[in-house]
Homo-oligomer: A and B are copies of this chain.
Amino acid sequence: MARTPVWTSIADTLRAEIAARQYGPGDKLPTEAELSTRFGVNRHTVRRALADLVDKGILRTRRGAGVFVEAPPADYPIGRRVRFHQNIRASGREPAKKVLRTETRAADLAEARALEIAPGAPVVVYEGLSSSGEAPVALFTSIFPADRVPRVAEALAAGGSVTEALAANGVPDYVRRDTRISAEAASPTQALHLRVRENAPLLKTIAVNTLLDGTPIEYGITFFAGERIALTVAHDAPKESLD
């Protein structure tokens, strides 16, 4: 009888540990070097075992980040109240945001229309990367009408959430009016930030948040890594059905 190759027994061991949730969905596996030491084999053998589990859809390689346990896209509810930190915590992971850029500049036509301000009026632009646990999940651009929330840039630069930054500007609450959802292929820069392959499918959302009286307060464009996030919408009964 042919001897079972060493890599298959390593693959079987890892597979059993994943099934037992020693490594859960989305978790990072130890490095090749660490696995070599643990199993007492060379890196080539470890790589063969990992490649087998990637082929089987059990693991996924993320460029520059390592090997992770495959997980179905996490649910990200969108509705009248969408709060990033809350949504990620509900999926059992730790949310984080990294500021990539903030600037104040003149609104272009699309921004002015969405925010109901004059074209050329000042807007605060906040670009960043959102993560869930160790995985980057979304690249976002939030655009605020500077005249309505004059100190929003400082609050964001200080590392607060959008909710906190708006609260610091006298906006205790805000709601989402509408969302437009499309699918686009990741550009090289987006792929690098989101750690997906170039042309990987992304979910793009364009949303407008307003004060409770309907005044637009934020125009947001977000690109979600399609392999990590699925948007969910509950279609509530409309007002007229209450009659």
Q: Which residues of A contact B (CB under 8 A)?
A: 73, 75, 78-80, 175-185, 199-203, 224, 226, 229-239, 242
Q: Are B237 and A182 touching (Cβ within 8 A)?
A: no
Q: Which residues of B contact A242 (CB under 8 A)?
A: 239, 242
Chain B residues lying within 8 Å of A239, measured Cβ to Cβ, are 236-237, 239, 242
Q: Is the CB of B231 within 8 A of A175?
A: no
Report the 7 A-B pairs with minimum CB-CB distance, sorted nearest first: A183-B226, A183-B201, A201-B201, A182-B230, A80-B235, A183-B183, A181-B231
Which B residues lie within 8 Å of A181 (CB)? 181, 203, 230-233
The smallest C-beta distance from A54 to any residue of chain B, in angstroms, reads: 16
Tell me the smallest distance from the CB of A36 to a CB of chain B, in Å: 33
**B237 & A180 in contact (Cβ 8 Å cutoff):** no
Among A78, A177, A199, A203, which residue has the most Cβ atoms of chain B within 10 A? Answer: A203
User: Closest residue of chain B to A73, judged by CB?
Assistant: B182
* A200 / chain B contacts, CB cutoff of 8 Å: 185
The CA-CA distance from A74 to B137 in the complex, in Å, is 26
A-B contact pairs, 30 of them (CB 8 A): A78-B233, A78-B235, A79-B235, A80-B235, A80-B238, A177-B234, A177-B235, A178-B232, A178-B233, A178-B235, A179-B233, A179-B235, A180-B230, A180-B231, A180-B233, A181-B231, A183-B183, A183-B203, A183-B226, A184-B201, A185-B200, A185-B201, A201-B201, A201-B202, A201-B226, A203-B203, A233-B233, A236-B239, A237-B239, A242-B242
